[in-house]
Structure 1
Amino acid sequence: MSVFPAVFHPYNTWLIKRHFSRVHLHRNSHAPASGRTIVVMNHSTWWDPLLLLYLNQRLWNLDGRALMDREGLDRFPFFEKVGALPVDTSTLQKTKESLAEASAVLDDEKPLFLFPQGREVPLGAPIRISSGAAWLKTEVPDTRIYNMTFYHGLFHQQQPEWFVYVSEITGAPSWSRKQWTSHIQTCMQEQFHFVQDQIFSRDQADWQTVLRGAEGIGAAWENVKGLWKGAGR
């Protein structure tokens, strides 16, 4: 087994802590199951795979593979060393071959992580997904599907914060690929709106902080003001 993931994890943790103030996980989140599992995620930034990698190594430790576009892996080959599986959609035949490789991962009873939007889409844009996850579900029917929502933004700190919610998607065994695609897409959109509404309402009681990162100038200034007030007493 490659030692690269173990070596990369401390660096990845440092990188996230340096660029973000907090990572929060919803308290009602479902930990993705091991075995034949597909985890679908919305995709808006280059950071998404790195956050996924951190969460998996920090919380779940699932021995899975993440599907990533071949072009993206060519640009950032280190992702392949930490478990990314290339997906080539340049032709229909190559797409089928890539899905067959992904199906083999599920047959080997290992989880798959994938971004069904296929590319980075601005946060908040309508979620539109490909049929890849549904194809895998119908090929390996006993596969469980989880929906992981990523939301990030600038709120109370100088640095951005991340919010993550994970739930299981269930459906009828008799559903067609088209029905599964529509259902997964609807669940992803509805869960995104739920997370967004909670954040906009500033209702953060249901979120637990799993990583504390850079405090930024604002927090440093608050600390200085606290010292001044203490010295003035």
Structure 2
Amino acid sequence: MRLRQHDPLTERSPVLVLLFGWYLRWYFHRRFHAVSVSRAGLPQVPNDRKLIIYSNHPSWWDPALFILVAAKLLPERASYGPMEAHQLQRYGLLRRMGVFGINPTSARGAADFLKVGRHVLEDPRRALWITAEGQFVDPRQRPVILRPGIAHLARHVPDVVFLPLAIEYAFWNESRPEALIRFGSPIEIAPRRDVTDTMAVLGAGLSATMDALARESMTRDPALFQPLVRGVAGVGGIYDMWRRIRAWASGQTFDAAHAPGSAQVPPPGQVTPYAPSPPTPRLAPHLGGQHR
């Protein structure tokens, strides 16, 4: 398939993706208390299946989080994703990360998105990451409304698996926020299914995943999550310097965490296999089931 303009397959640089992934580990370490994935785990999608990971869009951080999570959890797949063309002009380096520009408000832009999406997914060793709401939306807002492009893509890409991804940025007990993610149950869409019905199914899958993540986030319990990146605890500056001196003077071990023990998140490790909860009537319960 030939593209009129930029071809993300030729512009993406695996070397730069690797280097940028290491930079993002450091950057998220400095900006967040932790980047963590729910212990529900990562669904085991076979490597010979085409994969679209679609998420809510709560923050400016989301594209960078995609790149970080892809590097940590899906290194065997080359990842790509769309961004509004005028925004991509400001962050041109992202083209080298597999990001391609789209114009979601025009018919030509929608056609280009379908063409590039199909082009990327010709090889199942690639994954397409999409912020499916298309604009910044508070993660508590319901109903979850998706842009129709993802449903049109489902009609034109056979044998594709859709994987919901919920994202939330929460302040718990530290001065820096938590970046929390949770994957939902894989969803399969029958070829040529009605676009409106497809949007309802995908929206329900993402909404259920977001609700599950919100329940976990509200507990403020780090044991429910596995950290991908651990950040910095404490307030810093003069306040933490004084606390450190007091701990030293009293012979105690200094804990920078605001709440004692809150920094003791479980050590980073391999994400556990996925054990899905009972599926809702509109979700495919497993990859071996019928198309819904």
Q: Same fold (TM over 0.5)?
A: yes
Q: What stretches of structure 1 of length at least 5 have no aligned partner?
A: none
User: Is contact 1:32–1:39 with CA below 8 Å preserved after alignment?
Assistant: no
**Does 1:227 find its partner at 2:248?**
yes
* Alignment of structure 1 residues 1-233 onto 2, 5 Å: 2=13, 3-31=15-43, 33=45, 34=47, 35-61=49-75, 62-109=77-124, 110-126=126-142, 127-171=144-188, 173=190, 175-217=193-235, 220=240, 225-230=246-251
Return the letter of the residue paired with 1:37. Answer: L
Return the letter of the residue paired with 2:59. Answer: T
In 1, the alpha carbon distance for the partners of 2:139 and 2:160 equals 28
In 1, the alpha carbon distance for the partners of 2:189 and 2:108 equals 29
User: Is contact 2:43–2:186 with CA below 8 Å preserved after alignment?
Assistant: no
In 2, the alpha carbon distance for the partners of 1:188 and 1:226 equals 46
Secondary structure of 1:216's aligned partner: coil
Secondary structure of 2:162's aligned partner: strand
Q: Compare 155-164 and 91-100 and name the one that shifted more.
A: 91-100
In 2, the alpha carbon distance for the partners of 1:223 and 1:23 equals 26
Question: How far off its partner does 1:55 sit?
Answer: 1.3
Secondary structure of 1:121's aligned partner: coil
- Give the aligned CA root-mean-square deviation in angstroms: 2.2
User: Is contact 1:70–1:86 with CA below 8 Å preserved after alignment?
Assistant: yes
Q: Give % identity.
A: 20
Q: Compare 208-217 and 36-45 and name the one that shifted more.
A: 208-217
Instruction: Give the TM-score, by structure 1 length.
Output: 0.89
Change (3 A) 1:108 1:27: same
Question: How far off its partner does 1:65 sit?
Answer: 0.8
Q: RCO higher in 1 or 2 (8 Å CA, sep ≥ 6)?
A: 1
In 1, the alpha carbon distance for the partners of 2:246 and 2:36 equals 27
In 1, the alpha carbon distance for the partners of 2:187 and 2:105 equals 31
Instruction: Give the TM-score, by structure 2 length.
Output: 0.72
What is the aligned residue count?
A: 231
By percentage of residues, which structure has more helix?
1
Q: What stretches of structure 2 of length at least 5 have no aligned partner?
A: 1-11, 253-292
User: Is contact 2:56–2:165 with CA below 8 Å preserved after alignment?
Assistant: yes
Secondary structure of 1:81's aligned partner: helix
Q: Compare 32-41 and 97-106 and name the one that shifted more.
A: 32-41
In 2, the alpha carbon distance for the partners of 1:226 and 1:163 equals 32
Secondary structure of 2:112's aligned partner: helix
In 2, the alpha carbon distance for the partners of 1:38 and 1:223 equals 47
- Listed one character per residue, the Cα deviations across residues 118-150 of structure 1 (whole Å, up to 9, x for unaligned) are 112233223211122221112113100101111
Question: How far off its partner does 1:15 sit?
Answer: 1.1
Return the letter of the residue paired with 1:117. Answer: E
In 1, the alpha carbon distance for the partners of 2:54 and 2:181 equals 13
- Listed one character per residue, the Cα deviations across residues 92-136 of structure 1 (whole Å, up to 9, x for unaligned) are 122112211111211232211001111122332232111222211
In 2, the alpha carbon distance for the partners of 1:88 and 1:145 equals 22
- Listed one character per residue, the Cα deviations across residues 165-203 of structure 1 (whole Å, up to 9, x for unaligned) are 112332552642211111111121121111111221334
